[in-house]
Structure 1
Amino acid sequence: MKTHRYISSIGVKHHLAIKNVQASDNGRFTVQAMNAAGIKQSTCMLIVAPAPTPIPGAKSVANSPAPPQTPIGPSAPIFLKDLKNSPLKPGSQIILEARVVGHPEPHVEWFKNGSSINNYRVKTEYDTRTGICALIIPQMFADDIGEYTCRANNAHGVAESSAKVCISLIN
């Protein structure tokens, strides 16, 4: 069976490249260097996340950037993709979307103008495999104007991303 993992060296720099990464490539990778002074090693964790399931009528997230290297071990949440301000379009759907990572996996909460969102019209989603979290308002009304915040927390810290839904001055 032909491998899709390649090790290359240029001078003192060495690289592991994985072409056409697959879920079977998930795992811990360790590099070790040894000389007369001793042994040093570095380890990283590769997590291959499946493509997110599309939401009917929503814009595609397929072009979202891949998350940067995630440290091994405990880490506070960090937003890799922040929420973006959106214009109010009465009667239309809006999706506010962000991407967050942390270890252990963060707990995600949504707020509007500083208060927890408890509204049957609003749906929230959080895909723990990809870190994508979304707030979906299927049909917008004037009272949806405000500042929305996604808060992620775990034992190591808290991170927030906020965006405003406001009246658009440009039609």
Structure 2
Amino acid sequence: PDPPEDAEVVARSGRSVTLSWVAPASDGGGGLCGYRVEMKAVATGEWRLCHELVPGPECVVDGLAPGETYRFRVAAVGPAGAGEPVHLPQMVKLDLGPAHCTPCLSLPAPVFLTELQNQEVQDGYPVSFDCVVTGQPVPTVCWFKDGRMLEEDDHYMISEDQQGGHQLIITAVVPADMGVYRCMAENSMGVSSTKAELRVDR
């Protein structure tokens, strides 16, 4: 099967994370048996199986060590075996968290007050994706297209303001820009994301 799509971390706690993804575009013709989920601690660098066969497009990985940084990958499994995995774009670090610090427990994880909206634009024209996110501490924000992290260049303009507003501008859209765009916000209390699709008219 093809790799699953749109894999992301949708929630995390002190010792666990919740992963989510979308079924692959092609199952190889034999149907899907489920998904294999693997993780590795960055300190060791070795991939380790955490779920041999997950039936649906979401799972919880628990038993993680606070203070450790992890990477995750997911592969679709068909009758002939597992396909190529998709690597989640972000690393996840679980905080140690002071047990006695009551104010720390009330700090909010990132929340999108305004989410991304699907866009349709004509080839050659600019387009923007806008969102507003809040959280304490102030979250770090990254942009992705089809799971690949975007960096600012002549094609992509990325900006933010003091009120939590974030914007991605594609200066001149081409057909290859079609796909799913995601804004991911992360702070020490959690991670959240919003996504939207771009369609290009020729």
TM range (shorter): 0.5 to 0.7
Equivalence for 1:117: 150
Please tell me whether residue 142 in structure 1 is matched to residue 175 in structure 2: yes
Q: Structure 1's 105 and 119: CA in aligned 2 closer, same or farther, altered over 3 A? A: closer
State the TM-score, normalizing by the size of structure 2.
0.45
Please tell me whether residue 102 in structure 1 is matched to residue 135 in structure 2: yes
Equivalence for 1:87: 120
The SS at the match of 1:135 is strand
Distance, in Å, in 2 between the alignment partners of 1:109 and 1:118 is 9
Instruction: Tell me which amino acid in the other structure corresponds to 1:79.
Output: F
Equivalence for 2:193: 160
* RMSD of Structure 2 on Structure 1 (CA): 1.9
The SS at the match of 1:143 is helix
State the TM-score, normalizing by the size of structure 1.
0.53
Give the gaps of 5 or more residues in structure 2: 1-105
Distance, in Å, in 2 between the alignment partners of 1:106 and 1:100 is 8
Structure 1 segments of 4+ aligned residues over 6 angstroms from their partners: none
Cα contact 2:126–2:173 (8 A) shared by 1: yes
1:34-53 aligned at under 5 Å gives the runs none
Distance, in Å, in 2 between the alignment partners of 1:89 and 1:74 is 42
Instruction: Tell me which amino acid in the other structure corresponds to 2:194.
Output: S
The SS at the match of 2:109 is strand
Cα contact 1:88–1:142 (8 A) shared by 2: no
Could you tell me which of 129, 133, 140 is aligned with 2:166? 133
Instruction: Tell me which amino acid in the other structure corresponds to 1:150.
Output: C
Distance, in Å, in 1 between the alignment partners of 2:116 and 2:166 is 10
How far residue 119 of structure 1 moved from its aligned partner, in angstroms, is 5.7
How far residue 136 of structure 1 moved from its aligned partner, in angstroms, is 0.5
Residue by residue over 1:115-145, the C-alpha shift from the partner in whole angstroms, topping out at 9 and shown as x without a partner, is 1013621011111x21100001111111110
Distance, in Å, in 2 between the alignment partners of 1:167 and 1:107 is 29
> What is the aligned-residue identity percentage?
31
Give the gaps of 5 or more residues in structure 1: 1-72
Aligned length: 97
